Chain A
Amino acid sequence: MKLSYFPGCTLKNKAKNFEDSALCSLKKLGVEVEEISRWNCCGTVYSLTTDDLIHHVAPIRNLIRAKEAGSDRLMTLCAMCYNTLKRSNERVRSNPEDLDIINDLMYKEEIDYKGDVDVVHLLEILKNEIKLENIAKKAIKPLKGLKVASYYGCYLVRPQEIGFDDMENPMIMDELMTALGAEAIDFPHKVECCGAYQTVDKPEIIADRANQILSSAVKQGAEVVIVSCPLCSFNLDQRQKETQQKFPEFKNIPILYFSQLLAIALGCPQDSLRLDLHYIDPKPILKEKGLI
């Protein structure tokens, strides 16, 4: 299987741990990944007003790049890129006049976009195409005894047109963790928003949310929390500093990308995990479980 891949900007710097671990895992699973050339930032958020077509240009241009690479689908890892690319795609597919205008705005592109590229997320590929039972067979280092809470946040599951899973009770990451031999921990805050971009100018809001979300996971017995979005990761990991300051009784817990645990189970080298990029160090618990 060969896949066109859109990394998005954060995976190239602060979320290198997400990209490196995911790419190593895909290699181990025999999937060939090709990063599209000349990609641009998708804009991170889907434009919510009816008249704002200019902000759909950035996501749609990336779909043109996929077409130029001879691909009829484009894979993302970042949940926010996924949401933005997929929603813009659905919007132009169901509004041909909007698509004409957007193509006109990109008159210098050699080809027009015709709604003919599908946006897919790595988790969909793992579950629907590679299949979890096949991944389980390749797990040479099962995540035995590790208690993992899966945090989905917003962009992977909402709104309905985006979600490849139940909006209120998604299970895809839990199922992946179970397949890899970990103990999946259910907790009531798995789709509760962490505050997202409020983190720039209102970090105190993130401290409130991180406290609620993570304390709930800890209470259910989780030892690590996994995410699929670099913004969730920043808010739940780095902002534990502010959370601790605001709530002295708050207990720290390491945050990992689901792909890092996948990479461990598939036997990827430790340098692909980039465990140096975390604020709360996940190494002690991973060592304790004999995983690194």
Chain B
Amino acid sequence: MRTNISRHKIRSPFVAKVEELSGQNLLACYQCGKCSAGCPAVYQMDILPNQIIRFIQLGLKEELLKSNSIWICASCMTCNVRCPKGINIAEAIEAVRQILLRKREDHVKVEELSDSERGNVPPIALISNFRKFTS
């Protein structure tokens, strides 16, 4: 993957927005990788949790918005409770998700789910899924 880094991106409104929505000081991350080491979902992610934090620091907005990782993360909080710098990684990922969802770019299209997909699962699954993946 070819990526261009620039001062312009690092100081972009995108970085400020993620920091604001997540309430996290992401520059505190020193890339130890512990968040990714314990994440049960990494085997399906195209950008690992520690890389997500690095990408945010660098303002790599396009790469983050099109990554599958933000939809694979289940906010299980394992990374948060293990980060030696006290960073809430799940909140940072939520912020990136929210930037898309708030533009009405839903990840799950309720009307496209089949009757069996909707009917078999319990309310707790549907409600949490829609809360996380729709606007």
**A interface list, Cβ under 8 A from B:** 8-10, 13-15, 41, 43-45, 48-52, 55, 78, 80, 154, 158-160, 167, 191-193, 195-202, 205, 208-209, 230-231, 234, 238
Contact A10 B123 (CB under 8 A): yes
Judged by DSSP, the binding face of A is loop
Contact A193 B124 (CB under 8 A): no
Q: How far is the CB of A246 from chain B (nearest CB, A)?
A: 14
Identify which of B15-23, B27-35, B53-61 touches chain A: B15-23
Contact B74 A43 (CB under 8 A): no
Contact A198 B131 (CB under 8 A): no
Contact B78 A200 (CB under 8 A): no
**Which one of B90, B124, B129 has the greatest number of beta carbons of chain A within 10 Å?**
B124
Q: Which B-chain residue is minimally distant from A163 (CB atoms)?
A: B81
Q: Which one of A44, A52, A159, A208 lies within 8 Å of B77 (CB-CB)? A: A159
Q: Which one of B78, B88, B128 lies within 8 Å of A193 (CB-CB)? A: B78
**1/0 contact trace for B100-113 toward A, CB 8 Å?**
00000001100001
Q: Which A-chain residue is minimally distant from B127 (CB atoms)?
A: A44
Q: Which one of B40, B108, B120 lies within 8 Å of A201 (CB-CB)? A: B108
Q: Return chain B residues, CB-CB under 8 Å to A230.
A: 122, 124
B:3-56 near A, CB below 8 Å: 20-23, 40-41, 43-44
Q: How far is the CB of B64 from chain A (nearest CB, A)?
A: 16
